[in-house]
Structure 1
């Protein structure tokens, strides 16, 4: 598995990189949260955050590109050299945005063209052709892409996940993300096994595999051993069920890293 360098963060090397989401409704709340993550580098290190994700679907004007770009301009100034992910999660994937596919595609393209974000996270609910369209445009604009496969009702089989990952890699994804819904501990094990196979034998693109909810908590902390490159922690408001506190997550990742190296 290769790695991806975004600003000063090497995704796919060492411990999984911690992403913290901003899930606020108003511009004022969004910027207030961002300022907590970017006071000075030493505070940033204490918080143990590698990347910030703006979950735009929580924003009251998630369908208004002009207002989105106004927020992004301020976020970019506040976050300085911290990598920023732009994500609109639709209600089809248990997100907050009730948005037409054509509007989703257009907003993502305009955001890429603005060059105000480092990475975009796009979901497969918009259809393969639309994913490919956005990825190709993002490449032209120099924006990295997380291509996300959501499985809201089940954990896919190894064969299904492998086929999906290869397809997303062929589309040009810079990070492949597979989200699964477990019904048992064995479902979590299934996804972790699949992650090893993908990262060591199938794809070169960095992989993120997460089993959501309380049953899947293990998948969020043991990524380095199984081959998952990023994980999500919470500072104030969760963007998905099962996300651990940043401090706890960071301590666990460091402990696992120490033992993996040993």
Structure 2
């Protein structure tokens, strides 16, 4: 198992204020342990801050996944309601920079918890809440990348990023994926390339090809998530992940979703997965396990 590359040793931002030797996240302190990632899907600033703080308070989480597709969906809904116009995805897609600015304005509420942040704009193509087209997807993320990078010269209190480590999820199937990977990495932001199938499990050959395509595109991490219909599907996913871990030079992450796929979330590291997703409150995908329960098992297995 190759370690997730955007873990930081200064993860506990509140401890960093009081100590010159900040606490590391569990996976940063123990390379044998897969990272635990917990999603936040709230859209209101105060609720985002509350959830992120609660995640950090567990002491068991390495990364917050900030799902910005609910933010995009909420901004789009308000705009369409206020304009009294016919609510269509196309009308919302005309102003991607406004959507990106709404995301950037919420960033301080995420980073206040001090944990590394994986920003994810999950499209409707792959089971998310953002019904945006290819061009808008690329433009929103490109603008967000630039907005975070432009803060490098600002005084610390003015920074949206608050000194934490950022990473970006890029759906490898989107037409602008390679461009986004390059743009993020040019600004020091790690990229998790992703592919999701909520309808079934791709063939072993297709999963292997997807992992390879992600590595060839220059991603820092390659992630696939499949929906199993049988135990054999889970085994196929784990096998494809193990082969990718052995042959590719980047960390990989393979998830089999739903109740049937829980083995991939608990013991995925044995098959090469660098991380696993848990939930604190609302889940972002079927089969996520409560963070306290999952962390306890991982402590026993990889502690």
- Fold in common (TM above 0.5): yes
Partner of 2:167: 119
Q: Could you tell me whether the CA contact under 8 Å between 1:18 and 1:232 is conserved in 2?
A: yes
Answer yes or no: is the 8 Å Cα contact 1:224–1:257 preserved in 2: no
Counterpart position of 1:13: 31
1:162 aligns with 2:163: no
Q: Which residue of 1 aligns with 2:253?
A: 208
Tell me the residue number matched to 1:242.
Answer: 287
SS in 1 for 2:183: helix
- The answer to whether structure 1 residue 102 and structure 2 residue 135 are counterparts is yes
For 1:84, the equivalent position in structure 2 comes to: 117
Quote how far apart the aligned CAs of 1:188 are.
0.2
**Post-superposition shift, 1:2?**
4.1
Structure 1 equivalent of residue 299 of structure 2 = 254
CA change 1:207–1:31 in 2 (3 A) is same
Aligned residue runs from structure 1 range 1-262, under 5 A? 2-3=2-3, 4-8=5-9, 13-38=31-56, 43-45=57-59, 48-59=60-71, 60-61=74-75, 64-76=99-111, 78-80=112-114, 82-113=115-146, 114-115=148-149, 116=161, 118-127=166-175, 130-200=176-246, 202-257=247-302
For the residue of structure 2 that corresponds to 1:215, the secondary structure is: helix
More displaced stretch, 246-255 vs 117-126: 117-126
Runs of 4+ in 1 over 4 A off after TM superposition: 9-12
Q: CA deviation at 1:192?
A: 0.8
Q: Label 1:211 to 1:145 Cα distance change in 2 as closer, same or farther (>3 A).
A: same
Gaps of 5+ in 2: 10-24, 77-95, 150-160
Larger Rg: 2
**Number of residue-to-residue matches in the alignment:** 247
- How far apart, CA to CA, are the structure 2 residues paired with 1:98 and 1:194? 30
Distance across 2 between alignment mates of 1:23 and 1:157: 31
1:123 and 1:147 map into 2 onto residues whose CA distance is 6
* CA shift digits 1:58-82 (9 cap, x unpaired): 2222761111111013322x122x1
Per the TM alignment, residue 37 of structure 1 is displaced from its structure 2 partner at its CA by 3.0
1:228-258 deviation digits (Å, cap 9, x = unpaired):
0111111111111100000110111122225
Deviation at 1:36, TM superposition (A): 2.0
Change (3 A) 1:230 1:119: same
Calculate the aligned-residue CA RMSD, in Å.
1.9
1:119-151: CA deviations, max 9, x gaps?
011113423xx1101001111111100000122
Task: State the TM-score, normalized to the length of structure 2.
Answer: 0.76
SS of the residue 2:259 aligns to: coil
How far does residue 195 in structure 1 lie from its aligned partner after superposition? 1.4
Whether the aligned pair in 2 keeps the contact of 1:124 and 1:148 (CA below 8 Å) is yes
Q: Quick check: 2:37–2:275 contact (8 Å CA) kept in 1?
A: yes
Retained in 2: the 8 A contact 1:61–1:68? Answer: no
Q: Is the 8 A contact 2:126 2:195 kept in 1?
A: no
Q: Distance in 2 between matches of 1:217 and 1:44?
A: 21
